Structure 1
Amino acid sequence: MKAVKVLFICHLAALLFGLAGMLIALPHPELWSFSPLLISVFSFGINYAGSLHILFGAATVLLFGLRIVGVRRTLIFFAASTLISLSIELIGTSTGFPFGPYSYNTFLGFKILGHVPYSIPLSWFYMGFSAYILAHLLLTRRRGGTESQRGSGLWAVLLGAYLLTVWDLTLDPAMASERLPLHFWQWGVQGAYFGMPVQNLVGWSVTGLLYMGVSRLLWRSDLEERRLLDVAWLPFGVYTANTLFAIVLDLSVGLWLPPLLGLFLGIVPA
């Protein structure tokens, strides 16, 4: 687990680096424009920080899964989450269905088929896997530690998709705000939920349900709780860190409801 911990620390550092760039460096160029070294750091951040924390997050969760969840299950979830989410994102950026009309900017890395940054399917993977593991543990502990129960896989899929959608409830309002100095994607319409189309939440939920459901069907059995309990801090840490990242962005643009939703509907249950 030492390598997992190192990658997780890198993920946290990249999240903090991104926040510092968006909330401090961009609005205050006087803090770095006088130094060639700081200009280079700023240029690196603008070009790579957006995808860097996703790469570290995906690497962290992938290695965690291979070590703790098992090679077969982890690779199934990785393939299902990245391929299904990429397919739906390509449809979404081309047609506006099912998320609503939107397009990605250039800050998340090169775009697959000119539409979807390569890092986006990776974010679906590591946040979805973390959410699913947390959902499974929550349900298992709720029923007193019994690992086999009829319908438990379905409930884990539903709760995992719910936790994933709560993250979006927190993240997208900041990304839709005109007050944020940097945007990774832009909406083609002014939506009802703090600038985000409500349709997007349905798209997120359905996408999460699809790849979590496909993964669980191919697994043919639940996760083993005993192997996860001692290392549950990792999926919880990944989920919490990324939700807090979104909360800080919301607060920076003066939004209060999305952070409360992320805290009480996401982090607290997790």
Structure 2
Amino acid sequence: MAPGLLAGLGAPLAGAPSPAAGPGFLALLWGTVVHRPYVYAFFACFLAFAVYQLGARRTATFAVSTWLVAFAAEYSSTRNGFPFGPYSYFDETRTRELWISNVPFWDSLSFVFLSYFSLVLAAALLSPREDLARGRWPGLRHPAAPLVGGAVMMLLDVVIDPVALQGDKWFLGRIYEYPYRGFWFGVTAANFLGWFAVGAASQWLFQLALRVLPWCRGAWRPVHPRFAWAVYGVYAGVFGFNLAMTLFIRDWALAAASGAVVAVTLSWLAWRLRAPGRLA
């Protein structure tokens, strides 16, 4: 564990008031919920869907392992540029919401639901239609699922990060910056590759947990035949929220590009979910 990591929980920077004078852990955690309700709305969807599909123990395993992968990636990237490329967070909200060292808690938490819904969509694409109709999801264990899921998650970021980079124009706020302007509306290629890597790694780690952890074994409950379409709806909702914010800030060029990515991605996924057989 890096020195000072736990000490950085919501602590102000050097020169600011001492931790004793600032808000406590619970107050900062509540502040995170208050300031980022859209994040927790999607996280609540993750809990409802995952507990229904995976059960409580597998859901907790996925959430904790994915958050650890995401936090480690962000902690590393803000120091040495791997795997997202170099960037840094502005700490203007450090006294209002929870931070862990130099990473806002809500940001790494977001990867949990983004990775889950991406993995489940990949599993649906890789499962035979007859299994999905019976509520079984063999695609969750398919060797290609983390690769497909990582790509599906990266496509979300093509729409998310360009508008997040302009958070000062909407209620997200000024969150982070790159040391140089990237090729995609300011976002770097390394950032997209990092999203793919974090998605694939977190999903592969969950597959490993399914094989080796005793509490992740056992029978799986069958789910509703239309569960995949419900997951598709939440995934589309993440796209829709970020596209709506892009329209709100009136960045028409970005809105057109993001709209094209959303249309192509959702159309392809819908076509594959309707198609007989499976992707591979």
Is the structural similarity TM-score above 0.5? yes
Q: Please give the alpha-carbon distance, in whole angstroms, between the structure 1 residues aligned to 2:38 and 2:123.
A: 25
User: Do the aligned partners of 2:123 and 2:140 also contact (CA within 8 Å) in 1?
Assistant: no
Residues 244/141 of structure 1: CA separation in 2 closer, same or farther (3 Å cut): farther
Letter in 2 for 1:155: A
Matched, 1:269 2:252: no
Q: Report deviation, 1:269.
A: 0.7
The aligned residue for residue 94 of structure 1 is: 79
Segment drifting more, 232-241 vs 209-218:
232-241
User: Do the aligned partners of 1:243 and 1:267 also contact (CA within 8 Å) in 2?
Assistant: no
Matches within 5 A, 1:44-123: 50-105=35-90, 106=92, 109-113=97-101, 115-123=102-110
Q: Please give the alpha-carbon distance, in whole angstroms, between the structure 1 residues aligned to 2:176 and 2:165.
A: 8
Gaps of 5+ in 1: 1-45
Residues 131/99 of structure 1: CA separation in 2 closer, same or farther (3 Å cut): same
Residues 163/109 of structure 1: CA separation in 2 closer, same or farther (3 Å cut): farther
Letter in 2 for 1:58: F
Matched residue SS, 2:183: coil
Letter in 2 for 1:74: T
Matched, 1:208 2:199: yes
The aligned residue for residue 145 of structure 1 is: 131
Segment drifting more, 94-103 vs 170-179:
170-179
Q: Please give the alpha-carbon distance, in whole angstroms, between the structure 2 residues aligned to 1:70 and 1:47.
A: 27
The aligned residue for residue 168 of structure 1 is: 157
Q: Report deviation, 1:63.
A: 3.2
Matches within 5 A, 1:157-196: 157-177=146-166, 180-181=169-170, 182-196=173-187
Q: Please give the alpha-carbon distance, in whole angstroms, between the structure 1 residues aligned to 2:168 and 2:206.
A: 39
User: Do the aligned partners of 1:68 and 1:228 also contact (CA within 8 Å) in 2?
Assistant: no
User: Do the aligned partners of 1:101 and 1:189 also contact (CA within 8 Å) in 2?
Assistant: no
The aligned residue for residue 30 of structure 1 is: none
Q: Report deviation, 1:152.
A: 5.6
Q: Please give the alpha-carbon distance, in whole angstroms, between the structure 2 residues aligned to 1:205 and 1:54.
A: 20
The aligned residue for residue 244 of structure 1 is: 240
The aligned residue for residue 4 of structure 1 is: none
User: Do the aligned partners of 1:166 and 1:266 also contact (CA within 8 Å) in 2?
Assistant: no
Aligned pair count? 223
